[in-house]
Structure formats: C-alpha cells, structure tokens
Structure 1
Amino acid sequence: FAETRVIKLDEFHKGLQLGETRELRLILKADVQGSLEAIQNALAKLNEELEGVGITVLHAATGAISESDVMLAATTGAIVIGFNVRPDVAARRAAEATGVDIRYYDVIYHLLEDVRGAVTGLLAPETREVVDGVAEVRETFRLPNRAVAAGLYVVSGKAVRNARVRVIRDGKVIHEGTVASLRRFKEDVREVAAGYECGLTIDGFNDIRVGDHIEFYHIEQVPRGR
C-alpha cells in the first residue's frame, strides 16, 4: 500500500481533493453473517455508482472489533466499521494509541450515507458519540419491584448516571437504553470512577447477565470545519 497514514472518515474528501488518495479502505465487522453480506453487497453497488474513487473492503468478518482489526487499519490507512458490534478492551486501547477511526452503526442506510458523504464531501453528521466508560457485570440480583440490578466493576473511564448505555455480550450490542439508577453503597450517585464497584439498573431492561459489559456514552455537538 502506498498510503498508510491514518485517515478519518470526515477527512477523506479533503485527501481526495489534494490527490493524496483515490481509495477508501474499510475493515468491516458485523454481528451476524447476514448483515455482513448485506453491507458488502450495498457497498459494492455504491462503489459502481461513484466516479474517480474506489471503495475497498480489506477485511470483513463477524464478531467484536479486535486489536488485529485496528492494527490492520493503522498499517493500511483504513477505517474500521462496526455494525452492531464494539471493540474489545485491547482494540479500544490500540485505537486510542494509533488514532484509527472506528465508526459504529446499527442501520445499514446510515452507514452507506456516511460513506457516500465522505467521498462526495457532504458528510453531514454534526454530532459525535463519546464513550464515558465501560463496566463489567460481576453479579445480578432481582429487586422487590422485579427489576434486575447489576453489580458492576468500572473497568475504564467512569459510569455516569445521566449517560446512555449499551449492553454488550460477546462483543455484540444486545440493548441500548438509559440508566434508571446508579448507586454505590445504597446511595444514589452521579458517577463512579474506574476501579470502583457500583449498582446499576437500566430503564425497561432486565436481561442483564454476569460477564456482560456496559458501555456508558453521550452524544455531543461537533462544529464541522469546511
């Protein structure tokens, strides 16, 4: 590969205009084979429609985003696409160290629109997702109101009361929702730092299991420079 500089999806069109690249390289990970094939077929069709630039899927597989996926992206100038999957801890650290762009989707149309927008220079999103922290479920117990609470250990960042949450099982997103309660020693708290334990309930969701990971995140506005 002639170009191995780390590329961000929203910077791709600038590189295209400067003649630095004519190829958008992707590493694709999805939760199930059916989704993976549908995305690959849709990208192939989009590739036929675009002029002057190619879309190349360097690697496509099911399962969580791994450290090897991130390192492949770093050495080839690719962008990692996760469809209903998330990176494991090693992959997250590798992405932070290398600056590799990991994009997450749960709707194929949105994925295609972002890829098309990156190529045409019309990438529209003015928000971005920021991960506040990740916690591991160490135990579960049922409350008198029949809700299921999870005993968590905060692995990285912090658990945040007002954040949105994802429940991740075996690298796959099985639920997205909001925090119903966050407690430490039976006291309601706003946040809990890494290295500490806490209790969590998720609004309207009780299928929490030991070994699940809870990702706390929020959406923030991003001024787009043109």
Structure 2
Amino acid sequence: MRAGILAAQNERLDFETTAIIAEELGFKASREVEDTSKEAEIVDDRVKRILESDKPEDCVARPPIVVVMGHVDHGKTKTLDAIRKTNVMAGEAGGITQHIGAYQAEKKGRKLTFIDTPGHEAFTVMRSRGARVADIAILVVAADDGVQPQTKEAINIIQAAHLPFIVALNKMDKDDADPERVLAQLGENGVTTEAWGGTVPIAKIAAKTGMGIDDLLDMILLVADMNADRIVANPTRHAAGTVIEAHVDKGEGPVATVLVQAGTLKRNDYLGIEGAAYGRVRAMRDWTGVMLDEAPPGTPVKILGFKVAPAVGDIMEVPEDPKTLEVKKLKSAREV
C-alpha cells in the first residue's frame, strides 16, 4: 500500500511492479536477460502491415502520437501535467509513473495524443514499446541535472525508432540550471540541437510553473506538420491498436488502455489478439473518464470487456468475422 500498489495474496505480478516493491524494501531486483528484439520486430511488422494495407486515398489526418521520455525525476509527468492542466502525480507509486498512461490535449483546435513512459530503470521494455507506437518524441532533460543513464537510453530508443524529436529542457526556473552544459552533454551523446547548429528543436520549459509549455506545443505541431504524410490512418476499416496499459480492477475486472492506430473502435466490437478471442467492448472511456461509443485513429481508450488482462504491447484487432477468432483458455498477462 505504501507504493500505491494493490494486489491479491496469490496474484502474480510483473517484473516492473515487483522491482518497485523490492526497492521500497531496500532490495534491488534483477531478472534474466531476454532478447525481446525478435518479438518486438514481429509486433512492429504486424502493425506496419495493418497500416500499409490501407490505400492512401482512404487515409485521413489523425492526432499525432507523442511519447514523453527521459531520466527518472526529470519532470516527464509534470510536463504532461502542465500540458493537461490536471494532476495525476498523487496516484503514482512514490511519484514514479508505474505504467504507460495515455492522454490527449488540444492546441489551436488540434488534438494531440501523449504517452507518458516510466523513467525508473526497471522499465526499459515499456519505454521501447511507447516509442514504437509514437510519431514524435519529447526528450525531457532537467537543466540542473543534465544527461543521465535513462536520458542516454531514451536517446538510443528514439534514434533506433527513427522518431523525430524535441528536447524539452526542464527546470529552467532552478537557480542552478545550466542549459549550455546540458546542450554540450547532449552533443556528446549524438544529439545536436538547433541552438548548437543541429536539427533537433529545443524548448526551454519549467513544468512546475508552466513556463514555455505553449512554445513546446507549437513545436510539436510544427514537427507534426513536417511529417504529415505519415501521420494518417483509415478510419473506416476494422479497428486495430496497441495495448499500452492493462490491469485487473477489483470492481470492473480486466481493463486495458488501447491506443487505436487504425480504423474506428466501436462499442460491442469483438476483440482479438493473435487470433484468439479476448472479449468484446462492453464499455470504453477516454482519458478523462467520459464514456465513448466509438474511438477514431490516434485515440487512447480504456476498454472494459476483456476476458483476461492482455499484455502491454499486444496488438488488439477487431476481426471482420468474429467466428474466425479461436476460443481457447487465455492466460492473464500477469501469469505469462
């Protein structure tokens, strides 16, 4: 309870959650090294095939998906907090984001979808998954702390995913903020900002006060416009998307947040993952909790109706014919 984590006595927890608990108790958790690259490639290929199967004339502009990355405690969630002008910090274990959360904001009448990735060192896989579904990345770096281990890791993930990105130099309101030192460190790690003659945009912000947030949003729109030809989707096809958060709620049962990437997800749609029947959309909410009847591409929705909680990173697809889905015993993601 101290970390804000609820679990039944016999419930099996994922590594990331147990790592947080172990740290609270003064231990450091480690796990056997797994090569997840092959699995990631298969997932990537599946998403690409779905998106590339649509004819260009059937595609329309959708909200850009922006992933927020950076070292733990550098202000990623507070940056999103300032963008959304709400506060989610109190509900997170030790002030550290536990699972990927997805939110939407508007700027100049245009919707933007944001994904907040955990900065804690245990969450490497989840950060990679967040980057794979994004169109644009924001690399948050604290101006008083500079480039740190997860900053370097985030840079590698962003570059491997070939994502256009913006550096958000946070905590510029601190007396010991030293932006020139940080820009030099970034340059040493392969990131040359526009301020140093490179191509990477930089926004100087103070998430705590809201300083520079409007400029950051303007930069996101500009980068989105420069990549408008690929920030599109077919809203009329059967829906497909990526699971970005999943858990079992005591009152509602298995619940998952899905980022709809293609098609329009509708209430009562059947849900398939890898050809298996995972349930039906009994209800879905947007990030504010408002009930929705449908969700177009680029929209994150919390779905009720899963038989078991899927795994983060699973590709959810609505089948053309529900009868083609296999009915088999499904394992919760927490038991895999």
TM-score, normalised via structure 2 length:
0.26
TM-score, normalised via structure 1 length:
0.38
Higher relative contact order (Cα pairs below 8 Å, separated by 6+ residues): 1
Q: Larger % of strand: which? A: 1
